[in-house]
Amino acid sequence: MAVRRADMDPGDDELREWIDSIESVLDTGGPERAKALFRAVRDYLTDAHVIVEDAVLNTPYRNTIPLEQQPAYPGNIEIEQRIENINRWNAMAMVLRGYDSGTGVGGHIGTYASGATMLEVGLQHFFRNKGPDYGGDLVSIQAHCAPGIYARALLEGRLSIGQLENFRRELAPGGGLSSYPHPRNMPDFWASPCASMGLSTPSCIYQARFAKYLENRGLKPKNGGKVWNFIGDGEADEPEVLGTINIAARERLDNLIMVVNCNLQRLDGPVRGNGKIIQELERSFRGANWNVIKVIWSGEWDALFAIDHEGVLQARMERAVDGDYQMYSVSSGPEVRAHWVEDDPRLADIMRVRSDEEIRCIKRGGHDQRKIYAAFNRALQSEGRPTVILIKTIKGYGMQGYEGSNVVHQKKDLAIEERQETARRLGIPLGEEAAARADFYCPPADSEEILYLKARRAALGGAWPQRQVSCPALTAPPLTLFQEQLNGSGERTLSTTMAFVRMLSKLLDHPELGRHIVPIVPDEARTFGMEALFRKAGIYSSEGQKYRPVDSTTLMPYREATDGQILQEGICEAGAMASFLAAGTAYAIHGVPTIPFYIFYSIFGFQRVGDMIWSCGDMLCRGFLLGGTSGRTTLNGEGLQHQDGHSQVIASTVPNLLSYDPAFAGELAVIVRDGIRRMYEQQENVFYYITIHNENCTMPPMVEGSAEGIVRGMYRFRAGKAVADGQRKAHLFGSGAIMTEVLRAQELLATLGVSADVWSVTSYNELCREGLRVERQNHFAPGSPPARPYVAELLAAEQGVFVAASDYMKSLPLGIARWVPGPYVVLGTDGYGLSESRADLRNWFEVSAEYISWAALAALHEAGAVSAGELDAAAGKLHIDRHKPDPATAGPATARS
Ligand SMILES: Cc1ncc(C[n+]2csc(CCOP(=O)(O)OP(=O)(O)O)c2C)c(N)n1
Ligand SMILES: [Mg+2]
């Protein structure tokens, strides 16, 4: 054991003695005995308050698996290398040809160039598809490696040259290929999206956990299936990555393998020029109790380590920082030697066994199939712990002149000679002209390469990637399951949140659907009144419950169980969203239809994890997002950071997300039932966002015949009483929590001689979308009688003025303005929230019954139906402050001054 001896002071006899003795323990007692002694010494020191902080978190900067433990390689490396070279060429050709075509659609070469070997080893020997006896692997690659995967699919005959030609041209005739893995755009090919850096890690971690959840709950056989998550070293800087690794260890996810492609560079330059990203990540993952495997050096180094008796080479490797290693990747052999040897004769001696050219070409571990195989193979055997493999590579490996350069990420073009030289070096049998054009190359179907590749994939369950959905449909329950909500609450008051919890309870009890329901909640179950479900459904815990809960004698104890149904995520919205994504895609990943209901504080949804919601759309996720305690004025007291008046607006930006802001329990029942029908019976690729509020009110019975209107977005809830002057007519649109104010405004207006109809608008977003759809169709079919949008049709015969009030921003009701057949005033909660009572907040944001009435009167005045004098009198009666600051821009400080 020479390691570190190089660093030792030769005169330090005491140290030498210690090392000699531990060496002899290793020789005689083996590693376990040595570890036991080391731990005992460490514990002794700890007892004496001497903490050795870095004692275990970092291992030396070398391969975790030594040569003697390296398994024999099971494949034919020579053929695999040829296949990899062809993929490298074709992947690069896709980008170069795109560049040459002048379309400017871009692409990347450098990432796949660094990751090609690890992907190839995975594809030849590890990534297994679902089969009768195997759960199937979910593999998430680095997004920028997509060209390499397309190139491979060409060799398998799954994609055509025409499709490769149309990389990043998805609208091209004959079909093109998406830039990155997007299941939405290539639903038979890609299974999971990853183009937004950092999100694939929580996605994969929670996919792995959800697979265990399904197994523990008996919804999936315990037949294995690994989740492979490939990310970049720059990507590891995203907080979602290191922020979610703890749960993987806590949940003992031995079905999870992360691979970090440590090419030491990100887009602009080095990831850690002054340090070592691999060592840094090792500390983080080891500290989180992961199994860490480092692949740093290729086999060529093994011979050098073998003669590094004093550990000088290892010591030199420890000293160099990533900036140095990047420099070596662009330097000539003599330069590398000179810098590396640093006038140390012992190092010079060791390096003498390699020529300058050999030194220049000596590889990193990530370009050596045997080292990668050894690491992947060991990861498969991990028990009780997730594994991370940190693989050192060169960015742009094989891109002559650009390997390791700071500009390599963005490199989309190569000069003609560079193309020809690359083709030569990769052994691609193309003529000079064809190489200059970057023609694709595909060996014949009966060539050794193609036969080998197909045989390997056949042994692993077929081509990868592929997304195959085979999932039984569920039958939506009859609406009567929610009879209690449809009936209304009589004299009792309740909120839609309380109604939701009752409905969830009904669903959990449902004989067929019950087991498919997945309630997900961050640390807010009590906020939403869900604690009764702890006992009923149990909180999922892979370890069960090893303690007696403090409230075990109460009616609602905190019950954790291995087959618990609720996913209680703690204060981690990103994790909860990732669970939603896993549960909402189980129909595709596992063929199991699970129905997630993820309930959260509505403000901590879209603006906190909006990018993950976007990727839910990409991954064709199904399920219900429930924005609890919704509304800017309804969550009184909590103030600016909690009061949500905009999530409905953001929800409108997700194309296949249906969003609703129901006012009443019966409406909620209709929407949820219809959602289950569409997503699980009809298997439509949509998902739902429903805001639910904590405005206690007497829930009216569902209006006869309103189901269609509720789903489409609007219906007449209550007509106003007729008044003598037919001109004095108003229509009030209410939704969500503000409906109570709208109903009160109807009464106030009646006392002022105005007849007001109340309309319940369950979804401005759906009304607007449908309206735009219909208008577009009309434009494309000139001459045929134009169709009328639903909302226009609904209001066609109405006269008077129209006032919309919601607890969301004005832009939401404004979305339907063009189809409202009269003067239209929108009231909403633009501006920051503030801490106040509900009543004062509603006056401040001008959405109280008084301000709604006032808006109707002002509009009627403009229409000539109400006189100026009457308006003045009403202002006094309704306590309207005509000089108040505009809440859209003002805050409490302005209000006081
Ligand atoms: C959230 C997010 N931010 C930024 C980007 C743009 N981006 C794409 S790749 C990249 C650099 C990736 O570096 P690394 O993770 O080290 O991967 P490499 O290409 O080096 O293998 C950046 C900044 C993105 N796709 N997503
Ligand atoms: Mg990188």
pLDDT of 285-329, one tens digit each? Answer: 999 999 999 999 999 999 999 999 989 999 999 999 999 999 999
Question: Which residue has its alpha carbon closest to ligand 1 atom 6?
Answer: 197
Does the pLDDT at position 278 exceed 80? yes
| Ligand 1 atom at minimum distance from 393 CA | 21
Ligand 1 neighbour 144 (Cβ under 6 A): yes
How far is the C-alpha of 497 from the C-alpha of 601, rounded, in Å?
Answer: 11
Does residue 261 have its Cβ closer than 6 Å to ligand 1? Answer: yes
Q: Is the CB of 326 under 6 A from ligand 1?
A: no
Confidence of residue 487 (pLDDT cuts 50, 70, 90): very high
Give Cβ neighbours of residue 751 (< 8 Å, ≥ 6 apart): none
Atom of ligand 1 nearest to the CA of 198: 1
Say if pTM beats, i.e. exceeds, 0.85.
yes
Tokens of 56: 């275990």
Asked whether residue 371 carries a pLDDT value surpassing 50, the answer given is: yes
Ligand 1 atom nearest 238 alpha carbon:
1
Distance in angstroms (rounded) separating the CA atoms of residues 230 and 200: 8
Helix, strand or coil for residue 176? coil
pLDDT category at 361 given cuts 50, 70, 90 is: confident
Angle CA 403–407–411, to nearest 5: 80
458: Cβ contacts below 8 Å, ≥ 6 apart: none
The pLDDT tens digits for 383-399 are 999 999 999 999 999 98
Q: Is the CB of 76 under 6 A from ligand 1?
A: no
Which pLDDT belongs to residue 53? 67
Asked if the model's pLDDT at residue 2 lies above 80, the reply is no
The residues with which 567 forms a beta bridge, in sequence order, are 520
pLDDT digits (tens, 9 = 90+) for 223-258: 999 999 999 999 999 999 999 999 999 999 999 999
The one-character DSSP state at 689 is E
Atom of ligand 1 nearest to the CA of 232: 15
* Whether 299 contacts 373, CB under 8 Å: no
- Cα(190) to ligand 1 centroid in Å equals 19
Q: Which residues pair with 628 in a beta bridge?
A: 601
The pLDDT score that the predictor gives to residue 1 is 45
- Residue 199 alpha carbon, nearest atom of ligand 1: 1
Buried/exposed 160-187: b ≥16 CB within 10 Å, e otherwise: eeebbbbbbbeeeeeebbbbbbbbbbbb
pLDDT on residue 313:
94
Percent of the chain's residues with pLDDT above 90: 90
Q: Is 232 in the pocket of ligand 1 (CB under 6 A)?
A: yes
Pocket test for ligand 1, best of 142, 194, 235 (most atoms within 8 A of CB): 235
Strands 595-601 and 567-568: unpaired
Q: Flag whether pLDDT at 779 surpasses 90.
A: yes
Cα separation, 660 vs 767, whole angstroms? 11
Residue nearest atom 9 in ligand 1 by C-alpha distance: 267
User: What ligand 1 atom has the least distance to the C-alpha of 114?
Assistant: 21
111 lines ligand 1 (CB under 6 A): yes
* Helical axes 77-100 vs 110-125, angle rounded to 10°: 140
Confidence of residue 6 (pLDDT cuts 50, 70, 90): low
Q: How far is Cα 726 from Cα 731, in angstroms, rounded to an integer? A: 13
**Positive or negative, the Cα torsion across 537, 540, 545, 549?**
negative
Burial of 501 (0-12, 13-18, 19+ CB in 10 A): buried
25, burial (CB in 10 Å: exposed 0-12, middle 13-18, buried 19+): middle
Residue with the nearest Cα to atom 13 of ligand 1?
Answer: 266
* HSE-CB of 817 using CA atoms within 13 angstroms: 11
pLDDT digits (tens, 9 = 90+) for 802-817: 999 999 999 999 999 9
Q: Select from 144, 237, 242 the residue to mutate for testing ligand 1; criterion: most ligand atoms less than 8 Å from CB.
A: 144
Region 492-514 average pLDDT: 97
Return the amino acid letter for 885.
P
Q: Is the CB of 195 under 6 A from ligand 1?
A: yes
Atom of ligand 1 nearest to the CA of 195: 25
392 near 364, Cβ under 8 Å? yes
Q: Is the pLDDT of residue 68 over 80?
A: yes
Mean pLDDT of 173-185: 95
The letter for the amino acid at 46 is T
Q: What confidence score (pLDDT) does residue 432 get?
A: 97
Distance CA 396, CA 611 (A): 29
pLDDT band at 833 (very low <50, low <70, confident <90, very high): very high
Q: How high is the pLDDT of residue 763? A: 98
Query: What is the per-residue pLDDT across 675-728, written as a single tens digit (0 to 9) for each?
Result: 999 999 999 999 999 999 999 999 999 999 999 999 999 999 999 999 888 899
Using alpha carbons, list the distances in angstroms from residue 174 to 147, 695, 721.
Answer: 18, 54, 61
308 and 4 Cβ atoms separated by less than 8 Å:
no
* Helix, coil or strand: residue 493: strand
Parallel/antiparallel/unpaired status of strands 595-601 and 517-521:
parallel
C-alpha 428/C-alpha 91 separation (Å) is: 13
User: The tokens of 381 are what?
Assistant: 């055997």
Residue 82, Cβ neighbours under 10 Å: how many?
Answer: 20
Q: How far apart are CA 167 and CA 395, in angstroms?
A: 22
739 touches 661 (CB < 8 A): no
Asked if the bond preceding 10 is cis, omega within 30° of 0, the reply is no
User: Ligand 1 in contact with 395 (CB < 6 A)?
Assistant: yes
User: How far apart (Å, rounded) are the C-alpha atoms in residues 781 and 775?
Assistant: 10
- Please indicate whether residue 267, judged by its CB atom, sits closer than 6 Å to ligand 1: yes
Angle at 796 between CA 791 and CA 801, to 5 degrees: 90
Q: How confident is the model at residue 784, as a pLDDT?
A: 86
- Check whether 873 has a pLDDT greater than 70: yes
pLDDT tens-digit readout, 424-470? 999 999 999 999 999 999 999 999 999 999 999 999 999 999 999 99
Ligand 1 neighbour 709 (Cβ under 6 A): no
Q: Is the CB of 661 under 6 A from ligand 1?
A: no
Cis peptide bond upstream of 31, omega within 30: no
Q: How many CB atoms lie within 10 A of CB 417?
A: 13
Q: Which of 410, 403, 407, 301 is nearest to 354 (CA)?
A: 301
- The conformational region for residue 415 under phi > 0 = left, psi -120 to 50 = alpha, else beta, is beta
Q: Rounded to the nearest whole angstrom, what is the distance from the C-alpha of residue 267 to the centroid of ligand 1?
A: 6
Residues 313, 340: Cα–Cα separation, whole Å: 9
Render pLDDT for 196-226 as a digit per residue (tens, 0 to 9): 999 999 999 999 999 999 999 999 999 999 9
Alpha carbon distance 283, 185 (integer Å) = 38
* Tens-place pLDDT, residues 605-626: 999 999 999 999 999 999 999 9
Asked if residues 301 and 61 have their Cβ atoms less than 8 Å apart, the reply is no
Beta-bridged to residue 601, according to DSSP, are: 628
User: Of how many residues is the chain composed?
Assistant: 897
Distance CA 356, CA 342 (A): 15
Two structure tokens written together for 669: 């029942």
